[in-house]
Amino acid sequence: MREIVFDTETTGLDPLTGDRLVEIGCVELVNRIPTGATYHCYFNPERAMPSAAEAVHGLSDRFLADKPRFAEKAAELLDFLGDDKLVAHNARFDFGFLNAELERCRLPLVDLERMIDSLTIARTLHPGAKHSLDALCSRYGIDRSHRVKHGALLDAELLAQLYIELTGGRQIGLGLVAEAQIVVGTSAAVLRPAMAGRAPRPPRPFFPSEAELARHAAFLDKLDNPIWRDGVA
């Protein structure tokens, strides 16, 4: 099962009033295990960056001036996303901006049926608690000491760890990550068990040997009317 955990940075809060997407970061999971495959891109928003937004993510007009426009990278991004489920924190915000950009490019929108909102999961598991990414990382012991400002890829990497914890924790992988080989293609990575190709282990017998039966009978002979002999001829 392939899932993409993603995060966005924007010029503001509402794409319907002209705010634009300026950064996207995506992390690929296969069977809830990070494969190492990621997608990350900055975009020139073709408008000025409000100071309030720049204070959050640190992306200035000067930094973004030479970055590609969303339309130039849309096909590449959609190829990475594929048709798989998309995980985001407060997902309607990120889906709203992603679909607004796709609509500007006259490309098909991402179906909301693909949306998994980790914020909704967190609210269900921890009602009444704080549900920000920072608060949840602290709750689950996820190191975020390197997070000085918001960054789409960094936040997607943190969210991937959090999503794994919210949906069952590391035991999902059953400790088999070290025994798997990650094969990375152009935009996707697939986990292949390292044991593939090994000769199957011969079946283990689960019935007692003649020697074990004899030892058991000798043990029963030492007991006074053992119940284990009830019904035995």
Residues catalogued as catalytic: 150
Joined tokens for residue 205: 């017998």
Task: Return the SS3 of 209.
Answer: coil
d(CA 109, CA 102): 6
- Give the integer Cα–Cα distance in Å for 29 and 4: 6
Residue 168's φ and ψ, nearest 5 degrees, are 130, -10
> Which element (helix H / strand E) includes 55?
helix 51-57
CA angle at residue 186 from 68 to 189, to 5 degrees? 120
- Strands across the sheet with 115-117, in order? 33-42, 21-30, 2-10, 85-88, 115-117
Q: Rounded to an integer, what distance in angstroms lies between the CA atom of residue 47 and that of residue 131?
A: 31
